[in-house]
Homo-oligomer: A and B are copies of this chain.
């Protein structure tokens, strides 16, 4: 069952009924001002930091679901009322349509013969949202409509906002001038910033006091002021400041009215906080409001944004015989990659935005799917991340985006972390050829006295694993590897205790096969780079270390039918048929095969066959099988989840593409693509009633076969799944992969796909690539500008177009 459809030409997902199984959301903004917005107008806005500079209040996991947003209420001549976004009034509309596009959302509604369209967007370069409301009277009679806008302000710090009521309920302050409501709580003291909500025409009334809007026990479903049809011009003093404009509209038959609302953020210099009368200095807001006073300005902002997306998406465009694949590759997967790059894991409908910083591991992986979009931003991110690396090559597991400093509360000892830096930097170098970054002087531990060239950081990352090997010569796991929930050195018996940061066992025994595979893969990447740079000896040393690790994996990491997952604190096996639960884990199968283990003797294929048999479901590959039925002290959080959910037998989508990539390495195109389709959201659109989450972006998890709600997705949007699936499909299935010297063409195409046409911009060169099955009289291979190529790595020709044919 579907709740809408894709409009590929407009790059939009069109939702045709408001009661989606969960709120289906979109992100506005991509620089310093962001908004989350659902298909019914829910969500919130913030400036840079979802925790510290939240503009509007949102209530997670509320009843009703998805409460609070930027709402417009309409009231007709008889006092009947509805909202232009269905929520919060939830009146049955005569027409409803939501279009989530790239950086904007449009919601259309019709009720009582009044048509409305709200467009929400954050213009590039601005710290504001525009809400343009169009109202039309398609009927034959003059209509008198009362319009009330509504946003509820957050008192800036989203965490304190729903905690410290003793203070918060006394500090709310606003000013109102003309049609603009200014929110200035705490501006009187240490804040130099304020928010405002404005509309580009005179207003009849306003209120800024929540209770005056809703009534004491009133709801947003039926606010008292709306029932009355009259706002009372209240100036909030404490409690909960809101902004609501009242505008009386007369719509002649056939007429259309346009209203542009601006929800903005401004900072004043400390010495210019106040005007001559001791009021808020509003000059910045006024200028910004003026800039967007006309429809032409709004249309231009949308056009600029659209052109920006044209440029961002242009580097990889596919034309295939499968619409679903095309829309994932061309539009929605890269769009999600941009959002994960911007947000890391901070603010979604499933991440409250008040918790964690940027992950070292997360951000390096997010880069892999983003780097070709805006390389300059990727470059800065790499330098920021690398500066939090510890001097021994380890890494702070998280860093704070505002301070760009490592988070000491969480610390390090997630032993996979440093290796991801090699892959992140490798991805950047392959895409851009900007080897100058390797000479950039970068702090260790954010300490400039420890600064070294970035290349040295890669070396310490590489050495870190070798310096932290366990009894079998495999990498020690530390607090956890990629699977944050596999906690082999934390024996936690206290409810609520962190499984990660309260490690209480010596970490000298537990080893990870996942890190072992990752190490080999990263070492090969590092060796290739060194070789490319001309450091042949060093490159060989690194390669030898990788080969040694493969031998160690072969010796100590093989079970009869698959790769072992780990050795625990006691040296006992994890992910072995000898285990009661969790006999086979996915991560080591993916990484050991990606590392090249077992390719020569069929063991890799055997392991992947086991994955298929043991972990495969119609909805994707579960993380392990069987899930752990009981909590196990020696395994940690992974066993804390009910079977079938999250890391305990859930389909944790992030790791599925590793298996896809592994399958392509063994040439199993159909298998790889089959796995791809099982979790790719566009392919799951038709089972939206089961999947639940948005059909245009990946979710972190789909409930596994052991779960009562098998197939139901959770935690959409902010997941490393986005980047890895993009890598898997573009670089390994379609096989268009940047190399250090040129673009590598190595497709692994499933039978169901016909001829594929791809345009790929790479280092200022445009590749027009056709991938097709060879005719019976043709040899497989690569033809460049009509000439057979010996190599599948095709160097760019700046400011030129290269025509490539890949026959398979």
Q: How far is the CA of A216 from the CA of B86 in the complex (A)?
A: 14
B61 near A217: Cβ-Cβ < 8 Å: no
* Pairwise interchain contact B63-A350, C-beta atoms closer than 8 A: no
Contact among B221, B497, B645, B701 with A171 in the assembled complex (CB-CB below 8 Å):
B645
Most buried by B among A162, A355, A703: A162
Q: Are B156 and A217 in contact (CB under 8 A)?
A: no
Contact at B166–A217, with CB atoms within 8 Å?
no
* Cβ contact of A160, chosen from B220, B351, B496, cutoff 8 A: B496
- B residues less than 8 Å from A301 (CB atoms): none
A168 to B640, CA, bound (A): 12
Chain B residues with Cβ under 8 A from A240's Cβ? 61
Cα(A625)–Cα(B168), bound, Å? 22
* Interchain CB contact under 8 A, B351 and A165: yes
A167 touches B646 (CB 8 A): yes
B238–A190 CB distance below 8 A:
no
Q: Is A235 an interface residue (CB 8 A)?
A: yes
Q: What's the Cα separation between A173 and B160 when bound, in Å?
A: 30
A162 and B61 contacting across the interface, CB-CB below 8 Å = yes
Q: How far does the alpha carbon of A68 sit from the alpha carbon of B492 in the complex, in Å? A: 33
- Asked if A65 CB lies within 8 Å of chain B CBs, one says yes
Q: Does A188 touch B at the CB level, under 8 Å?
A: yes
Given A237-B708, A350-B165, A714-B170, the answer on whether A188 and B631 have CB atoms closer than 8 Å is yes
Shortest Cβ distance from A193 into B: residue? B495
**Residue A493 lies at the interface, judged by CB distance under 8 Å to chain B:** yes
Please judge, given known A-B contacts A156-B495, A171-B642, A221-B221, whether A188 and B709 are in contact too, CB under 8 Å: no
Q: List residues 496-550 of chain A with CB under 8 A from any CB of chain B.
A: 496-497
User: How far, in whole Å, are A700 and B167 apart by their CA atoms in the complex?
Assistant: 11
A189 in complex: contacting residue of B162, B173, B352, B631, CB < 8 Å: B631
A90 at the interface (CB under 8 A from B): yes
Question: Interface readout for A630-671 with B: 1 if CB under 8 Å, 0 if not?
Answer: 110000000111100110001000000000000000000000
A167 partner residues in chain B, CB cutoff 8 A: 646
Q: Does A361 contact B (CB under 8 A)?
A: no
Residues on B with C-beta less than 8 A from A708 are: 235, 237
List A9-59 residues whose CB lies under 8 Å from chain B. Answer: 19, 21-22, 40, 52, 59
Contact with B along A157-197 (1 / 0, CB 8 A): 10010111111111101000000000000101111000000
Which residues of B are found within 8 Å of A156, using beta-carbon distances? 495-496
Interface residues of A in 687-745 (CB under 8 A from B): 700-701, 703, 707-709, 714-715
Whether A60 sits at the interface, judged by CB under 8 Å, is yes
> What are the residues of chain B within 8 A of A354 when measuring CB–CB?
163
**Cβ of A162: which chain B residues have Cβ within 8 Å of it?**
60-61, 162, 352
For the complex, give the distance between the alpha carbons of A29 and B60 in Å. Answer: 30
- Cα of A313 to Cα of B794 in the assembled complex, Å: 90
Partner of A63, one of B220, B497, B639, B701: B220
Q: Is the CB of B642 within 8 A of A191?
A: no
Is the Cβ of A190 less than 8 Å from the Cβ of B494? yes
In the complex with contacts A170-B641, A237-B642, A237-B707, A497-B700 CB distance below 8 A: no
Residue A64 lies at the interface, judged by CB distance under 8 Å to chain B: yes
Contact A67 B60 (CB under 8 A): no
Q: Which of B66, B165, B188, B714 contacts A61 (CB 8 A)?
A: B165
Residue in chain B with minimal CB distance to A190: B495
Encode contact with B along A190-229: 1 for CB under 8 Å, 0 otherwise: 1100000000000000000011001011111100000000
Q: Is the CB of A217 within 8 A of B646?
A: no
A493: which B residues are within 8 A, CB to CB?
190
Q: Closest CB-CB distance, A270 to chain B, in whole Å?
A: 9
Does chain B have a CB within 8 A of A141? no
Check A624 for interface membership: any CB of B closer than 8 A: no
Q: Does A62 contact B (CB under 8 A)?
A: yes
- Report if A171-B641 is in contact (Cβ < 8 Å); known contacts: A59-B62, A708-B235: yes
**Complex contacts, A60 vs chain B, CB 8 Å:** 162, 165
With contacts A240-B61, A352-B163, A641-B171 taken as known, whether A219 is within 8 angstroms of B219 at the C-beta atoms is yes
A700, B166: Cα distance in complex, Å: 9
Query: Is A87 in contact with chain B by the CB < 8 A criterion?
Result: yes
Shortest CB-to-CB span from A70 to chain B, Å, is 15
Name A240's closest neighbour in chain B (CB-CB). B61
Q: Are B166 and A715 in contact (CB under 8 A)?
A: yes
A714 to B492, CA, bound (A): 42
Q: How far is the CA of A355 from the CA of B159 in the complex (A)?
A: 12
Q: A188-B631, A190-B495, A237-B709 are in contact. Are A217 and B163 (CB under 8 A)?
A: no
C-alpha spacing A493/B186, complex, angstroms? 12
Q: A91: shortest Cβ distance to chain B, in Å?
A: 12
A186 and B87 contact, CB distance less than 8 A:
no
Q: Is the CB of B164 within 8 A of A355?
A: yes
Q: How far is the CA of A707 from the CA of B703 in the complex (A)?
A: 54
Q: A219 touches which one: B22, B221, B237, B492 (CB < 8 A)?
A: B221
Chain B residues, CB < 8 A from A700: 166
| CB proximity to B under 8 Å, residues A434-479 | none
Task: Collect the chain B residues with CB atoms within 8 Å of residue A645's CB.
Answer: 170-171, 238
In the bound complex, how far is the Cα of B598 from the Cα of A573, in angstroms? 80
B495 and A191 form a contact (CB under 8 A): yes
- From 79 to 109 in chain A, residues with beta carbon under 8 angstroms from any chain B beta carbon are 87, 90
Check A496 against B157 for contact (C-beta < 8 Å).
yes
0/1 interface trace, chain A 733-768, chain B, CB 8 Å (1 if under): 000000000000000000000000000000000000
Complex Cα–Cα for A186 and B494 (A): 11
Select A90's contact among B19, B217, B496, beta carbons within 8 Å.
B217
On chain B, the residues within 8 Å of A62 by CB distance are 59, 62
Chain B residues within an 8 Å CB radius of A642:
170-171, 173, 188, 237-238
What chain B residues lie within 8 Å of A218 (beta carbons)?
A: 63-64
Contacts of A350 in B (CB 8 A): 165-166, 169
Closest to A270 in B: B493
Chain B residues near A715 (CB-CB < 8 A): 165-166, 169
- Which of B90, B189, B703 is in CB contact (< 8 Å) with A639? B189
Q: Which residue of B lies closest to A640 (CB)?
A: B189
Cβ A217 vs Cβ B640 within 8 A: no
CB distance from A66 to the nearest CB of B (A): 7
Chain B residues within 8 Å of A211, by CB: 65
- Note all chain B residues with C-beta closer than 8 A to A67: 63
**Chain B residue nearest to A161 in the complex (CB):** B61
Contacts of A87 in B (CB 8 A): 217
Please name all residues of chain B whose beta carbon is closer than 8 Å to the beta carbon of A157 when the two chains form the complex.
Answer: 495-496
Cβ-closest chain B residue relative to A169: B714
A222 nearest CB neighbor, chain B only: B221
> Which A residues have a C-beta under 8 Å from some C-beta of B?
19, 21-22, 40, 52, 59-68, 87, 90, 152, 156-157, 160, 162-171, 173, 186, 188-191, 210-211, 214, 216-221, 235, 237-238, 240, 345, 350-352, 354-355, 492-497, 630-631, 639-642, 645-646, 650, 700-701, 703, 707-709, 714-715
- In the assembled complex, 8 residue pairs joining A and B whose CB atoms fall closer than 8 Å, in A order, are A52-B495, A60-B165, A61-B165, A65-B211, A87-B217, A169-B350, A170-B642, A191-B495
Given contacts A19-B217, A163-B354, 7 further A-B contacts (CB under 8 A): A64-B218, A66-B217, A160-B496, A162-B162, A164-B352, A165-B352, A170-B701
Report the 8 A-B pairs with minimum CB-CB distance, sorted nearest first.
Answer: A189-B631, A170-B645, A237-B708, A189-B640, A191-B495, A190-B495, A64-B219, A165-B350
